[in-house]
Amino acid sequence: MLFALVCKDKPDHLQVRLDNRPAHLEFLRKLNDAGKLKFAGPFLDDEGKSTGTLAVIEAADKLEAAKIGADDPYAKAGLFESVSIRAWTWVFNNPANPSNP
């Protein structure tokens, strides 16, 4: 099952993001290698500065998705003001299902 993790950064926490970015990227690489990460990237403000994260992951259920999200170095560093976890279905442009409806 796929889950979208929509994470909003705390205001004025850009340095926390920058300081923890290498560990965050390594975390995402490991998720990708395990086949759990479908895609991820930052949300940007009008000046192009990161303000949050969108990650779509594969997990057995919402509880596992929440655990994966909590293990992210950004989450452990206290970067996020909020995290929303939503079940999601990838319909269009899904490389695992090239015969989109």
pLDDT 10s digits, 59-92: 999 999 999 999 999 999 999 999 999 999 998 8
Domains of the chain: 2-88 (3.30.70.1060)
Q: Which helix (H) or strand (E) holds 39?
A: strand 37-44
User: How confident is the model over 10-65, as pLDDT tens digits?
Assistant: 999 999 999 999 999 999 999 999 999 999 999 999 999 999 999 999 999 999 99
Q: What percent of the chain has pLDDT over 90?
A: 88
Check: CB of residue 24 under 8 Å from CB of residue 74: yes
CB 9, CB 17: distance < 8 Å: yes
CA distances from 2 to 27, 51, 86 (A): 18, 23, 8
- Helix, strand, coil % over all residues of the chain, rounded to 5: 35, 35, 35
pTM: 0.91
